[in-house]
Amino acid sequence: MALSETEKKLGGLSNARIDEEMSRLEADALIQLLDSRCKRIGNAVADLLSRKGATDAVIDGVLSKRISTKSGKTRALAILNISGKKSPRAVEAYSALILDKHKDVIDWALFGLVFFQDRRSIQPIQEAMKNVVEGSDIHQRYQLALEALEKTNPFVFAPFYHDAGNVWQLDKERFKGRIG
């Protein structure tokens, strides 16, 4: 079923009925619905995929470019960021999305790379940085991400973030007060 048809079918339903209908859909249809223009549907799909732990399907959707809108990519990144380090393949999706044209998508992808604390992400960030205007907001975010990775301190990038569930498996001793 096409995205617009599914949106029409779900659009008039209550949130409970939307959840019920979506729970019957295959992962491919749900991935497609992440691009929904309807916030209620797109966000409900993101919540369902997150609850199902469908990070591999989300990563595959990002890498195959089946998730193509800013909203869809942002929802996909929210799912991946909520799962934290549980899905090591997320680095592939984050690395692909740091090349996106939307500032918010890039920023959330950088967040994921920084909190993964994998120094191998430095080179892809440096490469992506070459594609933006020096001194621009996004250029500064790339620089901040690099600084956070070089200092092995993700809170340089996101100083107000609190990892309540320790999904990023950071050093509790080093980052006390910011975890749990």
More confident residue, 144 or 180: 144
Per-residue model confidence as pLDDT tens digits over 16-60 = 887 788 888 888 889 999 999 989 889 999 999 999 999 999 999
Q: Which two tokens stand for residue 74?
A: 């942002």
Mean pLDDT along residues 118-131: 96
Per-residue model confidence as pLDDT tens digits over 74-116 = 999 999 999 999 999 999 999 999 999 999 999 999 999 999 9
DSSP 8-state assignment for residue 34: T
Average pLDDT value over all residues in the chain: 93
How confident is the model at residue 179, as a pLDDT?
A: 94
Residue 166: which of 83, 109, 91, 89 has the closest Cα? 83
